[in-house]
Amino acid sequence: MLPMLQKHTLITAALLATLTLSACGKKKDVISAPPENAKKTGEANTNGQIGGGLPDPNRPDDSNPPLPEPIPEPRKPTPGGSTQQPNPLPLPPTAPTAPTQPPKPTTPPVVDTRPAPAPGSNQLPPDYRTNDPGNATRDNLSKRMTGGVTSDGLVYTSSSTDDLLNYLRARNEKVGYETRRANLEAASSVLSAKMTVDGMSGDAIVTLKVQEGNDVKVYNVAGASSNGGYASPLRSVRAGNGEKSTGSRALEGTLKCMDLDGGCETTFVRLKIGTSPSSAIINVVFRNSAADLYFQLPGEYSSNPEYLGLRDIIRSTIQGLNVPERIKTVRMSSFEVVNGRSGVALSMKTANNELLAFAGPLLAPEAGTGVNINLSRIAKDQEDTLDLISLDNTKLNLANTIGEARMVANNGLGQVRLALKMRKRGSYAQDQFLVTFMRKIKPLIDLTDDNLK
């Protein structure tokens, strides 16, 4: 989304034999569980960082956690015993079955809004670490929420720990009743938002999909991504991000890069839609940054060569092998409409350009982190319904081996956990595993009205 930004490719991965499956013909895993001190809440070691990256902004003096212990070499079958960690098998002569089409993710409508929290009322505990996967299911943390609530009582959340959404929600509550009502209606009508920046020119394009009656209208605005520290103006354009503008209302606004170091991993876009006296303000926060990974693989698994190939990629990544079959970059991208919807795209890309990516709404219960949300699986036979991932220069062979992706936890602070299930292939069991994405968060500029201009 922001190709000119410096890319940090720090990947944190660990293998934990926890997701036990009960299927016939499975083989025992020889990967041991992490040390006990890696499991303590708030003190968990993410068992390996590969490459370089920014330190935790809350603990600037921390050093990177150590690499994991080397994974044992696969054991050979023992006579009369179970087969240990097999080498990848050749593909069977029969063609694989077509991947099952999972339900496409939806972005439930916003039916209510929550008031902004009082300043200083939702502080994080001092032991919170952005790269501790245990925090993905920690229930005593204060989420950062957009303010939008669905009919099921789920809340749309942020994907970061900063207070930008809280600040913008509180600011909207200071305006008059009619203005606030118009702003809330406009926010709830936004189905999705996308921002891209040209790496050469620095030009930014923002695309909104807006529900207007029974129709979905597309609006595009464009402008510079930086303006000497000040917000850059955005003006309506006929097309952008592969979408033609179909909406008839006026749209203009500003774009402000929020990173303390001058970068644009977090960007604030303020848009005015319509003309007076029926205009409204839509505030959107875009985030695009590197992320850490934490894998939880099953202790027993089938001989499905597609799954074995995926395991090899994970092993090569952890061991830091300089091979094409390793995860090279991990990204987390999101849009967050103040008092409206939010969505996230999560992507892993290998050194040989295989893309494994998923997208869906950023929803969570107001208390707790557990969810069960179908995600869009980026594959040759499907589209990214949230328009957050570019398929340029990518291969999707690996993506097509995944039959189902669900978000099972979202802590509302930049950590989400996915449950991935392999596609049906012959008589093999559909292996399942968990992966936690954890945004690498950069500090923001001070949140004042002047700094947002």
* Planar angle of CA 179, 366, 435, nearest 5 degrees: 120
* Strand duo 154-157 + 112-113: pairing: unpaired
Report the percent of the chain where pLDDT is more than 90. 66
pLDDT, position 4: 39
Q: Is the pLDDT of residue 49 over 90?
A: no
pLDDT tens for 437-446 read: 999 999 999 9
pLDDT digits (tens, 9 = 90+) for 373-401: 999 977 544 444 455 566 667 889 999 99
Q: If DSSP codes are grouped into helix, strand and coil, which group holds residue 283? A: strand
Cα 260 to its chain centre, rounded Å, is 22
DSSP per-residue letters across 359-399: EEE-EEESSS-EEEEE-EE--TT---TT-----TT-B-TTG
What number is the average pLDDT over the span 317-328?
93
Per the CB < 8 A criterion, the answer to whether 274 and 236 are in contact is no
81-131 pLDDT, tens per residue? 333 443 333 434 444 444 444 444 568 999 999 999 998 888 999 999 999
Quick one: average pLDDT of 291-297?
A: 96
Instruction: Inform me whether the pLDDT recorded for 424 exceeds 50.
Output: yes
pLDDT score at 420 = 97
Residue 271 banded pLDDT, cuts 50, 70, 90: very high
Q: What value does the mean pLDDT take over residues 187-198?
A: 95
Torsion angle of C-alpha atoms 144, 149, 154, 155, degrees rounded to 10: -10
pLDDT (0 to 100) of residue 387: 56
> What phi and psi values does residue 374 have, to the nearest 5 degrees?
-65, 135
Which residues, including other chains, have CB under 8 Å from residue 146's CB and lie 6 or more apart? Answer: 155, 156, 157, 158, 165, 169, 336, 337, 338, 339, 340, 341, 342
What mean pLDDT is predicted for residues 2-11? 38
CA-to-CA distance for 208 and 194, rounded, in angstroms? Answer: 7
Distance CA 119, CA 169 (A): 11
For the cut 70, the answer to whether the pLDDT of residue 433 exceeds it is: yes
CB neighbours of residue 88 within 10 Å: 15
pLDDT at residue 314 in the model:
95
pLDDT digits (tens, 9 = 90+) for 59-77: 333 333 333 333 333 433 3
